[in-house]
Structure 1
């Protein structure tokens, strides 16, 4: 960005990049981000996290039975923990669908940058987000195909993690240089 003056306006990424720090970084740089949905498989028979409503104003979660899960602490990884009152949960008719904990306490976690993740999810569902993600197939997935066909990435030349990593990074560097040269040529021909 600094050296060539490229202005990154938007990115489309696969689900491996759907993490709170990445979402926060993109939002703070004012880059429109679209990241594929990651399918989580909650414990069979228990409510998934989305069944619990987050109340940002009061800093708590509300369970499907309308009980409040109060904020307790934030761990070192940046996750806020919200816990239910075991006295309420003991008598709750939905207890078996909510938790299997022995002390009858449900704990829900929320990352401190979860709002950025929700912003990215909203982008994915927008009209421009859907268009951008469709373009990803034509551009990014094409890079993987070119790496295989044009840069010998179908097979690794050497053995060992370090050698394979080096080949992958060199291939990516070459592809990025080609993309930059094409982009700079287009900018020069416009002006």
Structure 2
């Protein structure tokens, strides 16, 4: 029996940090600052620290729920704008269920070179089947543990298809597509992003949350951790957010007085 092992890197100077590997980002041991700002005044409303190897989407729903209760947003939270890292089925489903207008950046998936992309297969919701470019059906087969439904073509039909070589390289001549059980919520989020209001909200991210992070790094020294340990790093992040908020509030009040 072969047992698979997973290598985990642990810092010898700060064991609570996490080893981060991301495209376009420096590789190493880091902490991540997950923060929320309001769109009107860019006030930081929440700060949360995780090790660098924790995915952005992991703490989101818990932090959202905390803010809703803290500020009494049960009836007043209208919309959220998030980057592509938060485009998960669970987040889309929760926001859809709570009727919070959500705009989330889309992820770009590169299809296997030489094969027909998934978007060319049309989903028929009424019949719960996919229709291939040659107008043949891929029928539902099973649902895996991650919540993805599998739709499979008929190998006998595929064997006679003129597009077989462009569709699948499977030895059994069968094409398999997957669709999450909460895919409707993900598509709802996509439609929001295509709307005029959705595009406006997503553009605001660059003026609000992205600006907030940039100011924290460039003007308040949050690019580097001054302490070791998650608790002390959180203290640094909280103090940074407080300084930013004081400046924002002072600027807003000065405009009112003037």
Same fold (TM over 0.5): yes
Partners in 2 of 1:92 and 1:27 — Cα distance?
39
Give 1:8 shift: 1.8
Partners in 1 of 2:133 and 2:238 — Cα distance?
47
Taking structure 1 as reference, are residues 138 and 83 closer, same or farther at Cα in structure 2, changes over 3 Å only? Answer: same
Give 1:168 shift: 5.8
Number of the residue aligned with 1:125: 194
Taking structure 1 as reference, are residues 179 and 73 closer, same or farther at Cα in structure 2, changes over 3 Å only? Answer: farther
Note if contact 1:151-1:171 (Cα within 8 Å) is conserved in structure 2.
no
CA-based RMSD: 2.6
- Determine helix, strand or coil for the equivalent of 1:33: strand
Q: TM-score of the superposition, structure 1-length normalised?
A: 0.85
Number of the residue aligned with 1:175: 241
After TM superposition, the runs of 4+ consecutive aligned structure 1 residues lying more than 3 A away are 163-166, 176-182
Structure 1: which 5+ runs fail to align?
Answer: none
Number of the residue aligned with 2:99: 30
Partners in 1 of 2:129 and 2:227 — Cα distance?
53
Once the two structures are superposed, the pairs formed by residues 134-153 of structure 1 within 5 Å of their partners are 134-153=203-222
Number of the residue aligned with 2:120: 51
Once the two structures are superposed, the pairs formed by residues 77-156 of structure 1 within 5 Å of their partners are 77-156=146-225
Number of the residue aligned with 1:68: 137
- Determine helix, strand or coil for the equivalent of 2:146: coil
Q: C-alpha deviations, 1:70-106, integer Å up to 9, x for none?
A: 1000000000000000000001001111111000000
Q: Which has the higher helix share?
A: 1
Note if contact 2:222-2:240 (Cα within 8 Å) is conserved in structure 1.
no
- Determine helix, strand or coil for the equivalent of 1:12: strand
Number of the residue aligned with 2:53: none
Structure 2: which 5+ runs fail to align?
Answer: 1-67
Q: How many residues align?
A: 182
Note if contact 2:216-2:244 (Cα within 8 Å) is conserved in structure 1.
no
Number of the residue aligned with 2:71: 4
Q: TM-score of the superposition, structure 2-length normalised?
A: 0.64
Taking structure 1 as reference, are residues 39 and 172 closer, same or farther at Cα in structure 2, changes over 3 Å only? Answer: farther
Note if contact 2:92-2:189 (Cα within 8 Å) is conserved in structure 1.
yes
* Partner of residue 20 from structure 1, selected from 71, 85, 89: 89
